[in-house]
Amino acid sequence: MTAALALVASACGGGGGGSKSSTGGGDAAPASQYKAAVTQVVNPSTKTGGTLRMGMPGDFDSVDPGDMYYGYAWNFARFYTRALTMFKPVPGEEGLQLVGDLAEDLGKPSDGGKTWTYKLREGVKFEDGTPVTSKDVKYAVARSLDKDILPSGPTYFNDWLDTGDYTGPYKMKGKLDSWKGIETPDDRTIVFHLKKAYGGFDYFAMLPQTAPVPEAKDTGSKYKEHPVATGPYMFKSHELTKRIELVKNPNWDAATDPNRKQLNDSIEVLLGQNEDDLDQRLLSGKIDVKVNSTGVAANARKTVLTDEKVKQYADSALIDRTWFTNINGDVKPFDNIHCRKAVLYAADRSAIQGAYGGPDAGGDVALSLMPPKMTGYQKIDPYGVEATPGGNVDKAKEELAACGQPNGFSTTISFRNERAAEKQTAEALQQSLGRVGIKLDLKGYPQGDYFKLYAGKPDFAKKNGLGLMVYGWGADYPEGFGFFQQIVDSRVIRPAGNTNLGVKDPKIDALIDQAAAETDATKRGAIWAQVDKQVMDSAFILPYVWAHGLFYRPPTLKNVFVSQNWGMYEFLTLSTQ
Amino acid sequence: MLLFVVSIATFAIFFLVPRLAGMSADDLASRYVGKAANAQVIHDTAIRLGFNDPVIVQYGRFVKGIFTGVDRNYGPGIEHCPAPCLGYSYVSQNPVLPDILNRLPITLSLALGAAVVWVIFGVATGVVSALRRGSFFDRLSMGIALAGVSLPIFFTGIVSLAIFRDQLGLVGDVADWVPFSEDPLTWANNLILPWVTLAFLYAAGYARLTRAGMLETMSEDYIRTARAKGLAERVVVLKHGLRATLTPVLTMFGLDLGLLLGGAVLTESTFSLPGIGKYAVDAISNNDLPQVMGVTLIAAAFIILANLIVDLLYAVVDPRVRLA
């Protein structure tokens, strides 16, 4: 059946813009180049008008800026919200730079990084013309603390702000002004007080949770029906789970916003689309942008990578995600570092790269855990993967001998049932580790409960002997803390629902603290590189693929580039005229 | 009674079974929190959703909501979901019944439109095949019918989209749902592929059923008598033959239409139509019990209603029922 679908996809999707229904592609369209949008702006244009048509396979976790966690949601939110800071919307490494958005500039740290002060731009207004003040930002952050009402967003502010007993404006009505975790000495100044120093607070200030929310218009969990805009577009309609339509915000002033333009007349997002069909509509130009984090799905990938007419409009780009397997130190004999290192040496990373779709659709063979385009990355290869991507059997046997298991041992590997690549990864590991006598029993679990009930629940994992757990992680933002903290800091391990599946190394914890407190970005980056090295030395994680997304841009789409920060097309600049 | 049994069964599947399998209240709640939620947030969520209460109490609360409505804290205040309230989604926090009713026109449009197509084509094909038994038309139509019941909609749907929309450009962008009241022509244009695809599956069964019924009926003595009386062949076939054949067809139609009104799951998912079927798929994949309960009850109600209508129509189609 899949083959049949692929055949249809190939027959009908081929040609990209060349299909009859395309609005401007085909042989007559200007030729493009594969990966052109990875490093430069493709089809630059300043023309205005038209509708940007977006489609997504599922739905946003929320469009409420205080209640969203996915990268594509954050990317999309900047159409209608302005957080204190933002990533510069430009191609290349410059796109990793934070700049002021609602704030005039980046934050000013004091008290050794425990206090951060931002000055808001003058003249920014909500869509109804009301001026934005620092109190609106304080209210926005405060409401996001309430995870009963707004459960989906990150918990950085809950964890780092000096909240005291304050739990948010819904449960503690009338207490906002007296809460000193955030202070607003005047309408344009906002001061954040942290429990302990954090040098990268500008990244927190980039979160949509800092986008202002007018208290009078806040409708709690229903705010997603119509978030009040400060960006160039505002909600005209939001049919929940079906469609979103944004139109120009008449009270957005370009003079207050050097990072955005208002080129489209409107933006339409169709939600809940059949993914294979959505890809076909993207390839035939009926949709301008697919909203997700990894690009086209498996069936369309074949068309994109094998048909040169289509491939010229595609971009394979590194995203801030690494596919890896956790090695569970709670399960014997992985309490012994040499047994863990035996796995790291024996694994055939080339085979796993194939399981994820090869170099273009899957990604590069990973030499360490940290994705290479993140700020602070330094190349290391402690297991000689570059030279022996298929694994080093001799070194693996040496480690097994040092572990006291010269003939190998048996253990269980878990994966998510719904993810074919993870099952194939488990099979590839079964084969490659089998070469040194490590026998794997494969065990799949449902994706929805994988972390909450199975692999992410330490008691369950230990009791069921899950020695290896197939996994992957994408950074919240392209800096060490946004990538490492949730997956290698032992102090985030809880009874269930873990994202750290068993990395317990005090040296790593200490380095994370050291990096977090460092306010000098260069020095901080160097410490994150040390974290990466220490993770590899402790051998709790077997990284194998630095993920790529395979994205397609119809020939009619203008101002397209892959944002280094988002690891997908930068939505903010896209237009169709 | 049926709705009561269905609601208990659904509730038990989603709550009792996991609890018997050893899941704690916090385990259940962990499905409905953000990905960075800590243990306290999960525990608070379990309390808020009432997962620590005995299952029978939780079920009682659900039933009470249907008759008295439900109050919910949405942050700045309390809102009341009036009776009959099917509760609030654990994931989106939206009230379930308005969500379902909002999607009903889409599913109604799809199911009723497809039903018209499959009844006309299915019954007509069955009649002609029976009258021309063994002919090329009979063999061809029964072959196509066999393909119709064999090919899954997620295959025929994607293929038809690729051919008729992407290659030939004959139909609009199906996923772009437009209500009938807004633009009837676009509404029909966007639905024609889902109608035909869905009807292709169902018409096949109706054609085969009608053909078999017609073959049996047309060999009855009263048909010979009707012909002997000199009635026109059209009258013999349509008034005496087809009418007697329609009773089992009508029974099947009632069941099929009732099921479809509860959500044409595959068709809606394939064509990205945001109807009740798509809602059901999302609800199940999210383990969203209130949504699942809502869809199940609405679907069961449609099946009951459709069967009731069919029972009444028996009397119209078959005079013997009236006499009985």
* For residue B314, pLDDT beyond 80: yes
pLDDT tens-digit readout, A530-573 = 999 999 999 999 999 999 999 999 999 999 999 999 999 999 99
| Cβ contact, residue pair A497, B282, below 8 Å | no
Instruction: Decide if A313 contacts A409 (C-beta within 8 A).
Output: no
Answer whether B36 sits within 8 Å of A242, measured CB to CB. no
| C-alpha to C-alpha distance for B100 and B107, rounded to whole angstroms | 10
* B144 against A424, higher pLDDT: A424
Q: How many angstroms away from the CA of A518 is the closest CA of chain B? A: 24
Q: Is the pLDDT of residue A245 over 90?
A: yes
Does the distance separating the beta carbons of B270 and A219 come in below 8 Å?
no
Q: What is the pLDDT of residues A54-90, one digit of tens each?
A: 999 988 989 999 999 999 999 999 999 999 999 999 9
Inform me whether the pLDDT recorded for A1 exceeds 80.
no
Q: Which residue has the higher pLDDT, B48 or A121?
A: A121
A152 to B286: CB separation less than 8 angstroms, yes or no: no
pLDDT tens string A345-356: 999 999 999 999
What is the value of ipTM here, to two decimals? Answer: 0.83
pLDDT of residue B324: 61
Give how far A266 is from chain B: nearest CA, Å.
Answer: 16
Chain A environment of B165 (Cβ under 8 Å): 21
pLDDT, mean of residues A469-493: 93
Which residue in A8, A148, A452 is closest to B159 by CB distance?
Answer: A8
**DSSP symbol at B240:** I
Nearest-CA distance B196 → chain A (Å)? 17
3-state secondary structure of A248: strand
Q: How far apart are CA A166 and CA A551, in angstroms?
A: 43
Domains of chain B are 2-82 (no CATH), 99-323 (1.10.3720.10)
Show Cβ contacts of residue B219 under 8 Å, excluding neighbours closer than 6 positions.
Answer: none
Contact A497 B169 (CB under 8 A): no
Examine the pLDDT at B9 and tell me if it is beyond 80. no
Cα B291 to the center of its chain, rounded Å: 16
Contact (CB, 8 A) for A179 and A142: yes
Task: Give A-chain residues touching B163 at CB under 8 angstroms.
Answer: 12
- Taking one residue from A and the other from B, the number of pairs with CB-CB distance under 8 angstroms is 151
Question: Smallest CA–CA separation between A58 and chain B, in Å?
Answer: 9
Asked if A151's CB is within 8 angstroms of B175's CB, the reply is no
Task: Judge: B175–A11 Cβ closer than 8 Å, yes or no.
Answer: no
Identify from A221, A303, A491 which residue to disrupt to test chain B contact, counting B C-beta atoms within 10 A and taking the largest count.
A221
Nearest CA in chain A to B173: A286
Which pLDDT belongs to residue B91? 87
Question: Do the chains contact at A170 and B163, CB–CB below 8 Å?
Answer: no
| B38 vs A243, residue with greater confidence | A243
Single-letter code of the amino acid located at A529: A
Buried b (16+ CB within 10 A) or exposed e, A342-361: bbbbbbbbbbbbbbbbeebb
Q: Give the best residue of A22, A139, A241 to mutate against chain B (max B CB count within 10 A).
A: A241
- Asked if the Cβ–Cβ distance from B75 to A12 is below 8 Å, we say no
Q: State pTM to two decimals.
A: 0.88
Residue A37 · residue A29 · CB < 8 Å = no
CA distances from A478 to A156, A371, A565, B314 (A): 15, 9, 6, 68
Contact call for A149 and B75, based on CB within 8 A: yes
Is the pLDDT assigned to residue A456 strictly greater than 80? yes
Task: Name the residue facing A494 among B38, B165, B272 (closest C-beta).
Answer: B38
* pLDDT value for B146: 84
- The pLDDT tens digits for A493-516 are 988 788 899 999 999 999 999 999
The gap from C-alpha A40 to its chain's centroid, in whole angstroms, comes to: 21
Name the pLDDT band for B319 (thresholds 50, 70, 90).
confident
Distances (CA, A) of B227 to A416, B88, B128, B216, B222: 67, 63, 18, 16, 9
Position A560 scores a pLDDT of 97
Which residue in the set A61, A271, A497 is minimally distant from B37, CB to CB?
A: A497
Measured over all CA atoms, what is the biggest interatomic distance in chain A, rounded to whole angstroms? 73
| Alpha-carbon span A195 to A181, nearest angstrom | 9
Per-residue pLDDT reduced to its tens digit, A343-389: 999 999 999 999 999 999 999 999 999 999 898 999 999 999 999 99
> What pLDDT, in 10s, does the model give residues B37-65?
778 888 888 998 888 888 888 888 888 99
* Shortest Cα distance, chain B CAs vs residue A485, angstroms: 12
In this predicted structure, what is the pLDDT of residue B302? 87
Q: Give the pLDDT of residue B175.
A: 64
% of chain A with per-residue pLDDT over 90: 83
Confidence band of A18 (pLDDT split at 50, 70, 90): very low
